Each structure stands twice: as structure tokens, then as C-alpha cells.
Amino acid sequence: MIIIMKRQAPAEEIQHVIAEIEKNEGLKPVPLYGIERTVIAVIGDERIIDERHIASLPGVSNVMPVLRPYKLASRETKHESTIVKIRNVEIGGTKVVVMAGPCSVEDEEQIDTAARGVKAAGSTILRGGAFKPRTTPYSFQGHGRNAVLMLEAAAKKHDMVSVSEIMDVRDVEFMAQHIDILQIGARNMQNFDLLKECGKANKPVLLKRGLSATIKEFLLAAEYILLQGNQNVILCERGIRTFEDETRNTLCIATVPIIKSLSHLPIIVDPSHGTGKIALIPPMARASIAAGADGIMVEVHPNPAVALCDADQALTIKNFEDLMEDIRPIVGAMKRTI
Amino acid sequence: MIIIMKRQAPAEEIQHVIAEIEKNEGLKPVPLYGIERTVIAVIGDERIIDERHIASLPGVSNVMPVLRPYKLASRETKHESTIVKIRNVEIGGTKVVVMAGPCSVEDEEQIDTAARGVKAAGSTILRGGAFKPRTTPYSFQGHGRNAVLMLEAAAKKHDMVSVSEIMDVRDVEFMAQHIDILQIGARNMQNFDLLKECGKANKPVLLKRGLSATIKEFLLAAEYILLQGNQNVILCERGIRTFEDETRNTLCIATVPIIKSLSHLPIIVDPSHGTGKIALIPPMARASIAAGADGIMVEVHPNPAVALCDADQALTIKNFEDLMEDIRPIVGAMKRTI
Amino acid sequence: MIIIMKRQAPAEEIQHVIAEIEKNEGLKPVPLYGIERTVIAVIGDERIIDERHIASLPGVSNVMPVLRPYKLASRETKHESTIVKIRNVEIGGTKVVVMAGPCSVEDEEQIDTAARGVKAAGSTILRGGAFKPRTTPYSFQGHGRNAVLMLEAAAKKHDMVSVSEIMDVRDVEFMAQHIDILQIGARNMQNFDLLKECGKANKPVLLKRGLSATIKEFLLAAEYILLQGNQNVILCERGIRTFEDETRNTLCIATVPIIKSLSHLPIIVDPSHGTGKIALIPPMARASIAAGADGIMVEVHPNPAVALCDADQALTIKNFEDLMEDIRPIVGAMKRTI
Amino acid sequence: MIIIMKRQAPAEEIQHVIAEIEKNEGLKPVPLYGIERTVIAVIGDERIIDERHIASLPGVSNVMPVLRPYKLASRETKHESTIVKIRNVEIGGTKVVVMAGPCSVEDEEQIDTAARGVKAAGSTILRGGAFKPRTTPYSFQGHGRNAVLMLEAAAKKHDMVSVSEIMDVRDVEFMAQHIDILQIGARNMQNFDLLKECGKANKPVLLKRGLSATIKEFLLAAEYILLQGNQNVILCERGIRTFEDETRNTLCIATVPIIKSLSHLPIIVDPSHGTGKIALIPPMARASIAAGADGIMVEVHPNPAVALCDADQALTIKNFEDLMEDIRPIVGAMKRTI
């Protein structure tokens, strides 16, 4: 931690800051008396003190951390990449995984048809919404626990791994019994109680990036899960909110190599929510894989025209087959397989 | 709703869209055959259909809603301004309310001292955090239910209204028993289960704007609460996330008059979180009140140097007294009182 | 400047960085060997070296400047506030100045009527566009030099100071002969050749903040002008670009007190462009003044219904008179006059 | 154009709007009397009227354009993709072009070495800065016209096409005599006089997207050039400004397929400025090409450690050779060549 004092901070204020640092065992303050200002460098693991406390001390102009605030999520802590294994599926290994399925599980036939279609085309993980976070209370909110059971049945029948979003801490136990991967959506990325409860569940967690979350905050949200002893966290970039309005969100592909350098956790991309436009899903899926993503997640519906939600971004099964053909050469160019 | 067809949409696609609209009782499609494109205007209450379903139909280029998607929160629905009354305190009336207190309730003495100080200076509503949403799991997370009880005791002793943040649906019942106003923080603005549960509680709700929430989404979040039958919703602008880094967030003062025109709900401003800098709290409090805000919310700590959180933005009681003096002329210029 | 080395940077890389710093007379590198990383603090005026050069050296993880990069614009360099004086008008003193007039000078009668109206209501500075920066080439581009002369005539007739936007370096000489204040618009805030040429002109410059400019970049743009020897720079906040779409831009009122603390230059606010909505101009004008702004700039047109540009945000003269009445109590509360 | 009237707009206001539309030959207003509001659809080429004028009329709530505001840049106007040809180099055809060279031309040897290195590795277009737009006036501003001549000589010697940024309208004639492609930088994307002058020059123009420009504004800036009769415009995505601070800008790869669908103009990506980090250049270059970009532009310096600018994002010639090897499989997967 580097503490920059104000231009004319008197000696007693400098001494007070030094004394505050010295209260912490293992930290050593080193004052540097410059021409215009004094700077105090702190040697030791600065994460044991709150930078905002130091920032509030009289005479302090600015505090700059030196170390990254997450530990368990950091590649500096764990050098080898994490591979999340669920039965015969690996996320974060050499294979590029494709998660596919409808925005919302609507009925048994719909999810069965979707599962059969996406499995045949190469997907190994079946997605389907049961609890839907909708901007307006007047939109369809999902079929809830019934939908969870329908998703479970379809995944078992087609020998797929299942993933579904959880919104309420009171559903964690139920979801963990029936679903392979617990998804935490963008709007709940900083719902810290939900992060903690999912961290305690003995299931992999797919954590989506919040619309206004920095990458640092994204990794700190993962840290909440990891700190509960759950090592199986999969990150998912799905777009951030910017001024651009041609797409629903701005899909930030650079997140993929940045996460790969900062963290050992696997990262996938969701081009469906990231763009909100069917025509942009194939090019953005290709771009994600070319940037090093460990997988993609897309919305597929047997008949988008009757879908209860997100109809405008759902691929048909034919579209999905085309998408798989479209990405295969890029997967190959990256020396990976599907 | 206005539906813009693609440039060369064939007649059958246009007919299909018309047929989809006609399925809804009360809606009438009116096609307008232009030179370059066909446009279909929908007459009736368009909120009964999902614009994204229409957007997904073949041949549709774009769908533009005409009506605002919230009803209960809209000033078009309820013309007179809502005044939230809690005992002798009114929020949204002619008085400008000042909510003040520490980021976190630390012990009985701290909250008692804070309450006495802010009450004496003119505050009527005591804030104090019990459950703290912290970006990193390594930061202090609040003293939980014990802190709720300490806040309740201090508020009663000093005859103040209490407000505290709730993060977990499992705490709603407990909080509603002990606290006057349930606060939903920025990170949980779209935690829809929490909105619904607070909507069911028989207590006023203070809803903070999310960091990346549009004003439309902010009012739709309020709509979730209102729809449960709870009419006592107080909105709070606390800054949005932008590229500017001189302040923690970008406090969007224009939200105040915009909300006043779109909605009947009261709106206050939080300049502490909105700027993250003590020096900016007085000017931004003045600006908020001059723009028409019904109140402000600020962090006050008897001794910021030992605060367990947000020390860098906490006013001392002396600072708070100065702030009250600072805002009085502006409150008077707005023909309001404190 | 603080240089943070990578976790396992070898000794020779650390030595190389130290040697690079030592090449600069007056700079002294102080290495601090931490547990995880080495940090090198640089003592002296770091502005003489390029931080991005240092950042590119092998083994360097991050470089953090300690000093602010602008000198002439900084309040640390010049403590007393700058007052820009033009004849009997002062900007940055105790008076709150009001700049008013049409988006575009359309003809002699229009600008004369506008000048008479705004002068009578209390404005001392007449604005009027001659060269219009328009997003699309199909929009009206302004009447050019003829408009400059019409503005000059109206300002003289009504004894007002004139201000008008300059877009092309080739117009500087002409504009400086006929107009009192040269305005540099938001889109040209980083048109560095224009900044330099206006810096050389012997006229005050009104510099608007760019839509995506940080406050640091805003002050560095002012520094370009100041460095040419022109001390009469007036800053203008006019909104930044964010995701919010209820207003054309997000007017960042906090810029006012931030600029006041960082710089000695006067700052005004333009609520017309900052919001793009007539109804928001009065509350945002009040908020700006309450936050400490030295003035406001608004668009006024004798007959907005026939205006050639920005008709949707132009006040009528009656609206402007009402605005002046509206802000007077706030101006008084701030112990200033108009 | 769709005009939405306010909820209780009286008949005379509706009639007034209709009359205003009817003043324009070729436009026909069609009023639709809804339950809550009246909507007026305008049939004909709405681009001949100013939507903001209509928005300012009494009783109007909102105006929504139906047609896109650019014509010459639109793929609806010109269906086949534009290929910009300069001697033996084509941009926008089946080949993926690679533009490479130093941020700044420093001396003859430097630019010669750079040219030789990048040419040998597969680049056909040599970039090199002569006029440098720098955030601070204290940074190196480029060697100006001398640098232009050095770039010209190096490009000729190595049989490459040259590209360099132009900032000042007074340099257009000189630059057009010596350089093959005139580059307009992000900060000048809305310097409309510069756009017009470059439009008049008989040279291809490389137009970079502004940091806060929407895609619509980007295409409208291109429209300014096209309207002068210059059909050879190459677009370049180089990142937008967002809250994320791990990268200098947020590179928006989705711009590539969006531009491809909206416009016939070629589009390339600049991952050097788009990320500001050497390690991110290869993955983002791959992603750009996988998304369909017609080329990439990267900064290469024979010896970044002595570079006068942007040292932290410059590749060495060895790095560049590695980058070319890295992108070849992706180029092949896209069925294109370099």
C-alpha cells in the first residue's frame, strides 16, 4: 500500500499515519520525504488493513493498494488452471464446452425437444430457466420448482449436465439436489448472501458478471464463493452496460484473456445476453473462442415464436446446428475440440 | 406500440405480425405502408404483450413501446405526490428530511452518541448499518441482528425514525419488527425476491438506485414493491457508475426532477455514497435540495478515525452540524423547512 | 511516481528500472523490497518522465503517478481563484453570470430580439452559434462568418459580452476580431491544434468538457491553452455520456466543487445541452448554482418553434424570465448576486 | 417518423403537428387516436425534417425516427461491400490486412527498421505517427512534416502503403501529397471541418471511432466524408470509454458484425489502443478476425524501451512475428488469407 500525503501535511499528521500502520503486526511503514509531498510505503500484506480507514486519516490525499484484493481467485495463489469436472464433462480443460437450451423451461416436451436437439449438435450442458429475473413484474417469472424438475429429467434422459439460475437463498438446498451447476445471474453478482449460500452448497457455481461490475469486483464475488470452501467456480462474461445502444449490452471479449491472466478459474462467454441479437451470436461466439474462452452459453428454443421470454435472442435448433458448424474451424484453429 | 418492419418484408410476414397482435383482446393493429418500410401501429394497452416476442417475429426490424412500462409508480396513474408518514415524520411533504447516522452500528455507545448528535442538529431519521454489503469478503460485514436491536434502542431513546439495510429475504420478518424503514441497497435493486418480500412487509421501503440502473428500471423495481400492496416506497439516488474516477460514483442530480415528473413517489439523495468524499457532501447536498429532493441521507460517525467501514466518507457530528447550517438557506430558498 | 514491480521480477530488471530513473536529473529512485513484490518510489518532479515509458520496462507491473499532471491549471500552483474580466463583466467573482441566447444566429432580427430579451431579464453575456457542430451532415450547419457579425452587432447594441463557438483553426483570427469569448465545444475538447491556436489568441476561451473526458483530461485540455500564455480560461460542464437515456447527457454537478478544489479556473454549467429537456433546465440551473457554479449558459430563442436547431431545448424569452426568477433565491442563499 | 403526443394533448396541438408535417412535400401524417394517447405516423422520407424541431412542438411527448439517418454509408443504399484499393493492396476484400508500425516516426533508421521487419512478417501497410494527439501538452507531440517525409520514404523503399494521422485541416494538402491513407483519430471523429477537408482530398481515409461515439454517430461521421465525394472510407474500432479500468478502453468487438450489417464500408480493429496492454493484443487480434474484421492495426517498434510514445503497448518485431503466426490459423478458419 502506498499512502500519498497532502501537499502541506504537517509532521504530526504524517506521524499519526505511521502510528496507525504500526498498530498492525507484520506491516512496516516507510516514509519517503519528497519535494512536494511525503509518501508512505507500507511493506507487508496490506490486505489486513482497510484502505478506506487509512484514506480517512487527517492529511492523507490518496491511498493506492499494491496487491490485488482477491487471494483464492488469483493465479498468483494457484498457478495451474482450475478444471471443473461434472461426471464426464470438464470445463476449463482443452475442450470448449457449449451450454445450450431455452431461456425458460416451459413444459416437458419443450425442454425434451431442446435437449435432444442441442445434444445431437454437440452441446453437453443443458441450460433452462426456472426462476427468471425480469425487469418488470408484469413479465413471465418462470415456472419455478416444477421447471427445475423438468430440466433435471430432460438432462438425465439425454445424459447432459444441467445448469439453471438461482435467485433466492431459500432455494439453494432444493436446487442443489436437482441441478448440476448453480447459476448466479448478473443482477445477483453482488447478492452476497446468495454467494455465501452457494459457496456452502456442494455444487459447481456459474457466476455471471454484473452489468456494472469491474473485473476486480467480479473476482471478489468469486472470492466470496471460494472462501466457503467451494472451489468449483465458473466465470461468465455476458456484457456490461455502456452508452452504446445497438446491442443490449457491450460484450467485453477482453475479459477472457484478462481473467486468464489474473485468475485460475475457467471463463465462458454468453453471446445471447451479451448482444441480444440473433445475428450477432455466431460472430461473437467465434470471437470468444478465438480469445481463449473455455466455452459459450447460448439460448436455444425449439420454437422461438412461442417462447415465453427472450424470444428475440433465441436460436432455433437449426440455427444452433449452424452455429456449431460455424465455430468448429475456430475451435480447431485454437487447437481445442468441442 | 410501434412495429417497424424490415425494408423488404413480404406481405405474409406483415400479415403474420398483424395476426399475432389481433390474438390479444383490446389491441388493434394499424398497418401504415410507407415508401421504404411498413410500420404497424398498435392501438390499446400494449403492456399486455411482450415486445420482445413481437421483436422476434420474422420480418420485424424494431419495436418501440409508446406507453411507459410501469403503472403503479407512474404519476399518470396517481397524480398527487405520495407522502410516506411514519409517526410524526413525513417524507415527500414540504419538509426536507435528513437521514443521518453511521455506516455501521458498532456498539451501543457509538449509535447512541450518533443519534443524540444528529437529532440535536435537526435530523429526524437515524440510519445505521447492521448487514453490510461489502465488495470483498475480507471487509467487516456488519454486526447483524444485534446491530438491528441497538439501532432500534437508540432510535426509540431519541424519538427518531430508524432505517437500515436488508440484504437477505430471511431477515425481512425480523427487520420489520424492529426497524421503521427497510432499506434495499443499490446492489440489490434487482434482487426481485427481496423486492417482493419487502413489498409484503407492512413497512415503508427505501429503495436505492442500482449502479447501472436506468430510471425506467429504477421505477420498475419500485413497481415490484408497489404491486405487493405496499404503497410506501421512497426512492434514493446514490450515483451511477461511469468512467469518471474523481468520485466513487457519478451522482445524477437530474434524477430528482425526472422522478418528480414521471412518478408520484418521494425521492431523496445520498451524497455520501454518491461521491465518496467528505468535501463534496455539502455542495452536493445543497444541489440535491435545490433540484427538489425530498431529503438527503448522509453518513455521520462520532469518531470516523475508528469507524469499521466507509471511514473516508463519514462526517463527524461537528461536520454534520456545519452541513445543516450550510443547507438551511437553500431549503429556505426552495420554500421548504427541515 | 510509484513503480510496482512484478511478483518475481529478477534483480537485474529492478536495477534496470532504477538506472532508467537515474538518467533524469532531479529524480531519485528509492527501492522498497516487500514480501511479495518490490516497489520503487521516485522522489522529485516525476512529470519530467513519461510514465508509459517506465510502464513498458521489463518486470514493471504498474506505475502510479503521485503528482497531478497539470501545473498551470492547478490550484496548488495558483491558490487564488482566477477572475476573467471582459469590460464590466467578471466571471469567477462573486456574481453568478448568465450566458443566454439562441443555439444558432439565424438573422439580425432574431438575435436582436433575443439579446434585448435576455439582457432585460438579467443576462450579461450573449451566446449565439455561427459554426454548428452537427452529428449529421444533413442538419443545418450554421450561417458562419455572417452570423458572427450579426452576433457582434447585437452584443454591441445591447452592451453585452459575446460568446460563440469556434470549430476551425482557420477561423481563429476572424473570430478573435469580432467576438469577446471563443468557445471550444465538447467535441473539440481534445482538438489540440484548436486549443493551441485559441491559446495564442488574445481572447478569453470558454472550454466545454468532452462527452467522455475525465476531469483530469478536462484540466489538461485547459493546460494546453494556458501554456500558450492565455490565462483567461473558463471551464464549462455540459454533461457526460452514460447509459442513462432519459436525458441527452448526464449532467455531472459534482464537477463544480471538484474543479473548485483542484483548479483556480472559473466553472459554469450548461443545463441546456446537459439535459436536452426544457423542463429540466430550471432545477439543474438551481442545482448548479447551489453547488457553487460561477454561472450558467442556456439556450434562449424568441420563437423556438421556428428555430433551425436544438428547438427542443430552447427556452422562450418568457421561460428565461421565469428561470431568472427561479434561480434568484438560490443565488441569494449562496450569498452571491446576478 | 413516429410522433407520440402527450397523454392529454388537446385537438389543436395535434392539428398543429399535422400541419407542420404537411408543410413538407412528400410527407404524409397519419394520426392514430389511441386509448391513452394519440400517435402520428409520418409516411415518406422523414430525413428531410428535423426530428428535434418536431419534438419541440407543444403537446409532443416523444419522436422516434424510423429510418436510419445515414444514407451513403448504409448497406441499404449500396448492397455490395466496398473494397478500398491502393496500388496492389485491397482493404475489405478476402484478404485480412495488417497495418503495423511505430506509434511515432522518430528517425529514418527507426522507421526503416520497423518497415523492413513488419513487411517481412506479412504486413502490407506501414503506419507511423507524425502529428500526435497527446492528452497532456508536456508529452512528445510528434516530429510533424519531417516525420511524414520519413514515413513516405520508408514506405516507398519497402513497397508498402502508408497511413498516418492528420489533426489539422491546414495539413490536408501536404499529407495528401505524401501519404496513401489519411487517418482521422478517435478524438477528431467529430471534428467536422477535418472530416469535410479529408472528404475533398483524393485519398482514402481511415476513420477511427470516437471514445464515446455510438455506432450511429460513427457512421454519420463517415457520411460527412462520403458526402464530399470520397468513397474510400475505412472504419476502425479502437475501444470505447467505460467504467472498466483493467484496460485503457473497452474494445467492442461486436462493432465488426454490426458495421458489416449496417454498412458496406470495410472495418478493421486496433487492439493496441483498444486495450493498451501488449499481452492482450494477440487474443484481441484473433477475436477481431474471428468476428469478421477486414484487418487489424498494431503498434510495432524496433526497440520499445526507447520509444517516444506509447511504449507500453508497442510490440517488438519479434512480438509482431509471433502475432502473425498466432493469427494465421484464425484467418484460415475464416477462409481468408493475409
**Average pLDDT rounded to a whole number, residues C226-237:** 97
Asked whether the predicted pLDDT for residue D47 surpasses 90, the reply is: no
Q: Residue D32: which pLDDT band, with cuts at 50, 70 and 90?
A: confident
- What is the value of ipTM here, to two decimals? 0.93
Q: What is the pLDDT of residues B237-253, one digit of tens each?
A: 999 999 998 999 999 99
Can you give the pLDDT at residue C36?
74
Instruction: Please name the member of A50, A211, A309 whose beta carbon is closest to the beta carbon of B139.
Output: A50
**Average pLDDT rounded to a whole number, residues C283-303:** 97
Closest chain D residue by Cα to residue C310: D52
Mutate to test the interface with A, among B192, B225, B243, B275 (most CBs of A within 10 A): B192
Instruction: Please name the member of B141, B212, B224 whose beta carbon is closest to the beta carbon of A212.
Output: B212
Main-chain dihedrals φ then ψ at residue D100, nearest 5 degrees: -145, 155
Q: Residue A174: which pLDDT band, with cuts at 50, 70 and 90?
A: very high
Higher local confidence (pLDDT), B200 or B10: B200
Q: What is the pLDDT of residues B93-120, one digit of tens each?
A: 999 999 999 999 999 999 999 999 999 9
Q: Residue D1: which pLDDT band, with cuts at 50, 70 and 90?
A: confident
Please report the number of interchain residue pairs, chain C to chain D, with beta-carbon separation below 8 angstroms.
109
Q: Residue A322: which pLDDT band, with cuts at 50, 70 and 90?
A: very high
Q: Which residues does chain C have within 8 Å of residue A66's beta carbon, measured at their own beta carbons? A: 4, 34, 37, 39
Q: Does D103 touch chain C (CB under 8 A)?
A: no
CB within 8 Å: D309 and C134: no
Can you give the pLDDT at residue C133?
94
Q: Which residues does chain A have within 8 Å of residue B135's beta carbon, measured at their own beta carbons? A: 190, 217, 220
Can you give the pLDDT at residue C6?
86
Q: Picking from B26-35, B180-189, D107-116, D325-334, which range would have the lowest pLDDT averaged per residue?
A: B26-35
CB within 8 Å: C167 and D193: yes
Instruction: Please name the member of C253, C332, C333 whose beta carbon is closest to the beta carbon of B253.
Output: C253
Q: How far apart are CA D261 and CA D281, in angstroms?
A: 25
Closest chain A residue by Cα to residue D218: A244
Closest by CA position to C208, among listed C166, C178, C247, C174 = C166
How far D264 CA sits from the closest chain B CA (Å)? 16
Q: Residue B151: which pLDDT band, with cuts at 50, 70 and 90?
A: very high
How far B188 CA sits from the closest chain D CA (Å)? 20
Asked whether the predicted pLDDT for residue B47 surpasses 90, the reply is: no
Instruction: Please name the member of A44, A64, A242 whose beta carbon is closest to the beta carbon of C243.
Output: A242
Instruction: Please name the member of C39, C76, C245 whose beta carbon is closest to the beta carbon of A66.
Output: C39
Can you give the pLDDT at residue C268?
98
Q: What is the pLDDT of residues D269-312, one digit of tens each?
A: 999 998 989 999 999 999 999 999 999 999 999 988 777 777 77
Asked whether the predicted pLDDT for residue C311 surpasses 80, the reply is: no
Task: Classify residue B15 as left (phi > 0), alpha (psi -120 to 50) or beta.
Answer: alpha
- Report yes or no: A126 and A158 within 8 Å, Cβ to Cβ: yes
Closest chain B residue by Cα to residue D8: B76
Asked whether the predicted pLDDT for residue D31 surpasses 90, the reply is: no
The pTM for the full model equals 0.94
Q: Which residues does chain A have within 8 Å of residue B188's beta carbon, measured at their own beta carbons? A: 191
Closest by CA position to C48, among listed C21, C72, C76, C13 = C21
CA D263 to the chain's CA centroid: 12
Asked whether the predicted pLDDT for residue D36 surpasses 80, the reply is: no
Q: Which residues does chain B have within 8 Å of residue C336's beta carbon, measured at their own beta carbons? A: none
Can you give the pLDDT at residue D322?
98
Can you give the pLDDT at residue A24?
85
CB within 8 Å: C64 and A67: no
E-state strands within A169-311:
181-184, 205-208, 233-237, 267-269, 295-299
CB within 8 Å: B284 and C257: yes
Asked whether the predicted pLDDT for residue C98 surpasses 80, the reply is: yes
The percent of residues above 90 in pLDDT, for chain A, comes to 74
Closest by CA position to A242, among listed C253, D189, D235, D212 = D212
Contact partners for chain B, using 3 or more CB pairs closer than 8 A, are: A, C, D
CB within 8 Å: B41 and D41: yes
Average pLDDT over chain D, rounded to an integer: 93
The percent of residues above 70 in pLDDT, for chain A, comes to 100
Strand order from edge to edge, sheet including B60-64: B28-33, B38-43, B2-5, B60-64
Closest chain D residue by Cα to residue C57: D305
The percent of residues above 70 in pLDDT, for chain D, comes to 100
CA distance between the termini of chain B: 44
Mutate to test the interface with C, among B214, B245, B258 (most CBs of C within 10 A): B258
Q: What is the pLDDT of residues D249-261, one digit of tens each?
A: 999 999 999 999 9
Task: Classify residue C88 as left (phi > 0), alpha (psi -120 to 50) or beta.
Answer: alpha
Closest chain C residue by Cα to residue B330: C333
Q: Does A292 touch chain C (CB under 8 A)?
A: no
Can you give the pLDDT at residue A219?
98
Q: Residue B308: which pLDDT band, with cuts at 50, 70 and 90?
A: confident
Mutate to test the interface with A, among B16, B136, B214 (most CBs of A within 10 A): B136
Q: Which residues does chain C have within 8 Å of residue A7's beta carbon, measured at their own beta carbons? A: 76
**Count, residues in chain A:** 338
The percent of residues above 90 in pLDDT, for chain C, comes to 74
Instruction: Please name the member of D50, D192, D227 whose beta carbon is closest to the beta carbon of C167.
Output: D192
Q: Residue A68: which pLDDT band, with cuts at 50, 70 and 90?
A: confident
Q: What residue type is C68 in one-letter code?
A: R
Mutate to test the interface with C, among B214, B218, B252, B338 (most CBs of C within 10 A): B252
Can you give the pLDDT at residue B57?
84
Contact partners for chain A, using 3 or more CB pairs closer than 8 A, are: B, C, D
Q: CB pairs under 8 A, 24+ apart, for D320-324? A: D320/D100, D320/D117, D320/D118, D320/D121, D320/D123, D321/D117, D321/D121, D322/D282, D323/D281, D323/D282, D323/D285, D323/D298, D324/D98, D324/D121, D324/D122, D324/D123
Task: Classify residue B178 as left (phi > 0), alpha (psi -120 to 50) or beta.
Answer: alpha
Q: What residue type is B59 in one-letter code?
A: G
The percent of residues above 90 in pLDDT, for chain D, comes to 74
Q: Which residues does chain A have within 8 Å of residue D242's beta carbon, measured at their own beta carbons? A: 240, 242, 250, 252
Closest chain A residue by Cα to residue C26: A35
Structural domains of chain A sorted by starting position, each given as residue range(s) with its CATH number in brackets:
2-64 (3.30.70.1140), 84-333 (3.20.20.70)
Per DSSP bridges, beta strands D84-86 and D89-91 are antiparallel
Closest by CA position to A292, among listed A256, A265, A317 = A256
Please report the number of interchain residue pairs, chain A to chain C, with beta-carbon separation below 8 angstroms.
51
Q: How far apart are CA A151 and CA A142, in angstroms?
A: 13
Can you give the pLDDT at residue C2?
85
Asked whether the predicted pLDDT for residue C240 surpasses 80, the reply is: yes
Instruction: Please name the member of D170, D223, D240 whose beta carbon is closest to the beta carbon of C137.
Output: D223
User: Which residues share a beta bridge with C41?
Assistant: C2, C30
Q: How far apart are CA A40 and CA A36, in angstroms?
A: 13
Q: Residue C239: which pLDDT band, with cuts at 50, 70 and 90?
A: very high
Average pLDDT over chain B, rounded to an integer: 93
Helices (H), chain B: 11-22, 51-55, 108-121, 144-157, 172-178, 192-200, 215-226, 255-262, 271-275, 281-290, 317-333
Instruction: Please name the member of C33, C66, C245 whose beta carbon is closest to the beta carbon of A4.
Output: C66
